[in-house]
Structure 1
Amino acid sequence: MKRRAVINPLNKTSRNEFVSSSTVRILKKPKTESSVRKIFLPKSVANMLVDWKVEQDEMKEILGDEYMDYNLVMASTFGLPLGDGAIRGPLKKLIEDYNLPPVVFHSFRHSSVTYKLKLNGGDIKAVQGDSGHAQVNMVTDVYSHILDDDRRKNAELFEEAFYEKKNLDPQMHVQQENNNTAVADEVDPELLAKVLANPEMRALLNSLAKTMK
């Protein structure tokens, strides 16, 4: 392992860059076509990458032939592939500085899938396209507890909207006028809208209404 000082002419900073004399990294195409994925990024992240590309192009122009261009998004100052230490070190320092839970970088993949499932209401197929899981059931097997949490929350919303309100009894009859279901004044409209936004809960309500006629 050799160490060399690298000076960044763009921001006038220097750092040590380690070059292995025994490790060889082989860059090649992914094994299958499905491994080449189209990723939809948030606008903020896309803007960061655009700015980074501008800085990277400036560095290529300054270094000339010294820059080894492998067409990498994330590369060393001289264009070489980055080792895992480039991420592991800064992440460890971030955790120590802010007293965060000890995690590995791969944990962010799980966090990403978890938040996406929460935000899109459990659309597993959409998340699968970003996560790279070969089969949908691979997502459900790993993240089924997330969906269970949402279903549990739906049950709580149903309880609060229909059974904890005054004059709302499970045995009450639902009167229908002009094909529109009349909703008691005591029901919170905003809470009811959240419940009805879930297809499973909406189907359950329709079934319940039919049995109570």
Structure 2
Amino acid sequence: MAFYEIYSHPALIRYKAGVCTSATVFAVVVVCLTYISPLLVAYRSQGFWMKRNTYEEQAVVRFQYETLLVAATDTNGDYVAWSTFHHLNNMLGKKLRIPAVSVREEDQNQDGKLDRLIFQLQLPLKNEENVYSVQLLLTFSYQLFTKSTVVMQSLAYVQHSSSVSGAKLFISGDLRLQQRTPLSHRGLFNIYNVSVIQGSSPFASAYDLDNIMRRYQGRNCNHDCE
């Protein structure tokens, strides 16, 4: 038996609610979860398939006003020295020379981060003394914040020697971070936030340049002057 459609009428049902209702809140939450949350996940993950990426950051570097100077006055191993460490100066005895030191830090581009250290040292010598080599240690505080949060004490090592004595030495270089293994992107990395030179130690071995550089080069991160 066949049937024929005699009459049809569509039914339209509308549900309305005010603006300040739970239905409006639910609609807004659904829209946010649908469109905004995927964008946030993509932004925070820095890409879903990224294998390697690089970025640049200017570290916050401040001079710690800790210095150790050794100047060879002949080719037979005799020397004079000076430091900012009381125990070492007491051990130097007659080899101690108190220099005139001038220090100035400059922020050249006015961005709140220091860009240059101007360090001047005038070493008094006796008439029969001449300088053939110079070794100088300067300590700095070093901080990174953008990706990895790093706080550490670092070191600049300046060395020069010549077979001919000199009256003046000018050094210009850049401090660069040396890193052997990747740093963690979470938490605070402050394992090296200790003094590079053990200035409170009463033992001469704590101020030996070979020992200081050996400990410093054994770090994962260090700061060299080039």
Q: Is TM-score (shorter-chain normalized) higher than 0.5?
A: no
Q: Whose strand proportion is higher, 1 or 2?
A: 2
Bigger radius of gyration among the two: 2
Instruction: Name the structure, 1 or 2, with higher relative contact order (CA <8 Å, separation 6+).
Output: 2
Question: Which TM-score applies when normalising by structure 1?
Answer: 0.16
Question: Which TM-score applies when normalising by structure 2?
Answer: 0.15
Q: Whose helix proportion is higher, 1 or 2?
A: 1
